Amino acid sequence: MTFSQIAIIGLGLQGGSIGLAIQEYLPEARVTGYDLDPATRARAAERSLCHTVCATAEEAVAEAELVIFCVPPGAIGKAARPLREAIPPECLVSDVGSSKKRIAADLAQALPDHIVIPAHPVAGTENSGPDAGFASLFQGRWCIVTPPEHTDLLKLTTLVEFWETLGANVELMSPEHHDLVLAVTSHLPHLIAYTIVGTASDLEDVTQSEVIKYSAGGFRDFTRIAASDPTMWRDVFLSNKEAVLTMLQRFTEDLTALQRAIRVGDGEALFDQFTRTRAIRRSIIEEGQDDSRPDFGRSDHVKKTKKS
């Protein structure tokens, strides 16, 4: 069992990647798409992100068996609400939002007559918009599906198989647990990157040109993350407020402990902490999640697709 008609609402990094991945890995399916922004629709058609880029969302979903909302977390309710009548009754509704509890509630409220099974592919880059997508984005990456209790099992299985066909490894989780895990593995790191890059550019005694000139190592990695889409990340922090604040509190306490170790010259505490974190990095690489893998593609890949 698979979906043969899929509609994508929002044709940026995620929507575009899903459209391209469907055409590559699920060629028997037909994919329609819509984006609120006319320039994005035009570019999506030029890049053939879908078989048909529609002029309205209603047209895009009219014959869909699966609708995937790929809009910023704060826009999901607004994008879904007007489609209550237009989405066929048997159609499964899903999304790719980076936080789950709030988005699941927004979608369920906007589409009370439909089966909604939220999902989150843990795969992305700092780029956004219709030029950012690429078909291999989900290969070997996790997709976390957060089914509501007592959901339709056939639809859940079909959604899991859909993501596996696009190359992802699927894990099921409650939305609450998802939000806690992602708060520490994704949301907090972005907050730290946004902060440190802002701090470096606001310094009085170190000039901006020095920051740019000497940002060869660690800082450069932070600038990549801090270049991520402002709309999306504003919405992520507002929609996962509680879990992020919990993790931030914990992080602040741990940072204060390291601050104290530096102040009192406790080298052993610093060495122990850095030894522990080095082992974590090495175990991530052993699990195959090495970011030097060619399919991490990211900026290089985007440059290539822009030229073609």
Instruction: CB nearer to ligand NAD: give 128 or 146.
Output: 128
Minimum Å gap between C-beta 63 and ligand PRE is 29
Between 230-239 and 188-201, two packed helices, what is the crossing angle to 10 degrees? 130
Q: Is 36 in the site for ligand NAD (CB under 6 A)?
A: yes
Contact 289, 281 (CB under 8 A): no
Nearest-approach distance from CB 74 to ligand NAD, in angstroms: 9
Give the type of residue at 14: Q
> Letter for the amino acid at 15?
G
Which residues fall within 8 angstroms of residue 102, CB to CB, at 6 or more apart? 73, 239, 240
Residue 244: strand, helix, or coil:
helix
Under rule CB under 6 A, residue 98 binds ligand NAD? yes
Site string for ligand NAD, 55-74 (x = CB under 6 A): ---------------xxxx-
Structure tokens belonging to residue 118: 């939220």
Residue 72's binding partner out of ligand PRE, ligand NAD, none, with CB under 5 to 8 Å set by partner kind:
ligand NAD
Q: How many residues bind ligand NAD (CB under 6 A)?
A: 31
Strand partners, 66: 6, 92
Determine the interface stretch with ligand NAD among 121-129, 143-151, 196-204, 281-289 (rule: CB under 6 A).
Answer: 121-129
Residue 78 engages ligand NAD in binding (rule: CB under 6 A): yes
Task: Tell me if 261 sits within 8 A of 270, measured CB to CB.
Answer: yes
Contacts of 300 (CB under 8 A, 6+ apart): none
Binder among 37, 59, 266, 295 for ligand NAD (CB under 6 A): 37
Q: Which does 174 bind (CB under 5 to 8 A by kind): ligand PRE, ligand NAD, none?
A: none
Task: Give which of ligand NAD, ligand PRE, none residue 186 binds (C-beta under 5 to 8 Å, depending on kind).
Answer: ligand PRE
Give the residue from 44, 42, 47 showing the smallest Cα distance to 70: 44
Rounded Cα distance between 70 and 103, Å, is: 12
Residues 80-119 that bind ligand PRE (CB under 6 A): 98
Among 7, 14, 22, 115, binds ligand NAD (CB under 6 A): 14
**Count of residues touching ligand PRE (by CB under 6 A):** 8
Pick the binder of ligand PRE from 136, 186, 239, 240 (CB under 6 A). 186
CA 100 to chain centre: 11
In the complex, the smallest distance separating the C-beta of residue 298 from ligand PRE, rounded to whole angstroms, is 7
Give CA–CA dist 41/36, Å, rounded.
8
Quote the least distance from Cβ 122 to ligand NAD, whole Å.
7
How many Å apart are CA 16 and CA 158, to the nearest integer?
Answer: 21
Q: Which does 77 bind (CB under 5 to 8 A by kind): ligand PRE, ligand NAD, none?
A: none
Question: What does the block give as tokens for 107?
Answer: 């979608």
Paired sense of beta strands 142-145 and 119-121, if any: antiparallel
The reply on whether position 229 binds ligand NAD by CB under 6 A is: yes
CA distance 73 to 99: 7
Report whether 228 contacts 197 (CB < 8 A): no
Does position 124 interact with ligand PRE (CB under 6 A)? The reply is: yes
Q: Which positions touch ligand PRE (CB under 6 A)?
A: 98, 122-126, 186, 228
Q: Which positions touch ligand NAD (CB under 6 A)?
A: 9-15, 35-37, 40, 70-73, 75, 78-79, 96-98, 120-121, 124-125, 128-129, 132, 229, 232, 236
